[in-house]
Amino acid sequence: MRKSIYYSLLISAMMSVSVAEETRQVDKHEHGVGVLNIATEGSSINFEFMIPGADIVGFEYKAKSDSDIAIVNAALTKFGQFENIFTLPSSSNCTLVDSMIEVDQDDDHDDHDEHDEHDDHDEHDDHDEHDEEAHNEFVAHYSFNCGNVKEIDRIDFPYFNTFPNSGELEVQFVSGVGSTSFEVEGDKPFIDLKGKI
């Protein structure tokens, strides 16, 4: 039930973000730019991050070597402690009730066996463009129950210190008051939510 409420709250946020997401994917998505959707309802606040792998671990291909797997696992561990990513005012008395962190790996271009019978096609001689299209994305969901959700007048993002390759978060915020968007960068790593909840 909680997840269905969460996803219905994010629908309006995602509609505007989906156009940007399509553009990002067409452009082989934009390094240094992550997407964050935040939704509040009643005493709940929910976060959904979608961040290109290059911004987090420095590469976008599927981690296969032991060293790359270790780098990805270390990043997932950092995401596991939400305080590494964002902080809420202590006066809001928010408690984490659910979280999910994963790496969404696009394997569409890993296997080129279907091209073996097309030896005469020049466009299949070089698969570099396919390698560039393959990407991984870190996806993280956090759900909180808050004793005083209206005390959330600011959200800070230590994310930029935790992952220095990241340059910007495109934030869509939805509450009962309406929706607002922000662009957050490391030199000003917070959003001001006064009057928005």
Q: What is the average per-residue pLDDT within 67-84?
A: 97
Q: What is the pTM of this model?
A: 0.76
* Residue range 115-146, pLDDT digits in tens: 444 444 444 444 444 444 567 899 999 999 99
* Residue range 36-59, pLDDT digits in tens: 999 999 999 999 999 999 999 999
Rounded distance, CA 112 to CA 110, Å? 7
Domain ranges, ordered by start, for the chain: 2-192
**DSSP secondary structure string, 105-116?**
E--TTS--GGGT
* Residue range 100-120, pLDDT digits in tens: 999 987 654 444 444 444 444
**3-class SS of residue 190:** strand
